[in-house]
Copies of this chain bind each other. A is one copy, B any other.
């Protein structure tokens, strides 16, 4: 079922400033872009560059004054949707080179510190069952409270404070997965059902298909349980929120407004 996306945001740059934008649905095999329309204010310079892991694109803009972005798209997710709890652990020594970086600590995900915790709390599980247990543990122990976290909040803070928004839920899931030696990355996305409606963030973990061992595949998982992987449209991926933002400004920026609307169509 195609997903309809309407997003817009606006900001003002007092002097000529470089900004990096990433808000378009990634053109990748697992989601078909049926229709897309991007409109941006005039800029002195504008260049599309490939984003992390070649999933989606970032847009370099150099501009001044009021700047507006409007984006609409119709996208049909067509990814495989196995039951995550049934997927197998991939032994580290079988992992492909490109998955290895997602085992390591990153800015907001200090996985190393959590090894005793994951062993004692989730010790009886592994692979996809471990991920399902982590997802459910977060969902049970955390409360979704906009305004309680900010751009400085790490997975360690969130783990202690037991609350936050999608970004924080994803950071904790990524962290506990990596502490379990399961590669995990951060995914910026659009998804219907997110409340309040906004850009969304979830995690993606690297697991193995027990029927074709050694293949390995990335699977979406949302600890907030607001997004269904069947309906989720990926924008981009990264080690954590430091790597994927719809707007990164290399100079002062007066943010004015944003609006996101994502719906299922028939």
Contacts and interface: CB of A to CB of B under 8 A. Distances in A.
Contact of A92 (B20, B110, B239): B20
A95 interface: yes
A46, A100, A152 pick with most chain B CB within 10 angstroms: A100
Contact of A243 (B20, B49, B95, B101): B101
A61 interface: yes
Contact of A91 (B18, B157, B181): B18
Say what secondary structure dominates the interface of chain A: mixed
A39 interface: no
A100 B239 contact: no
A139 B61 CA distance: 36
A159 interface: yes
Contact of A116 (B18, B50, B95, B163): B163
A93 interface: yes
A197 to B, nearest CB: 25
Interface in A16-68: 18, 20, 45-47, 49-52, 57-58, 60-62
7 contacts: A20-B92, A51-B100, A57-B97, A104-B242, A104-B243, A116-B162, A239-B239
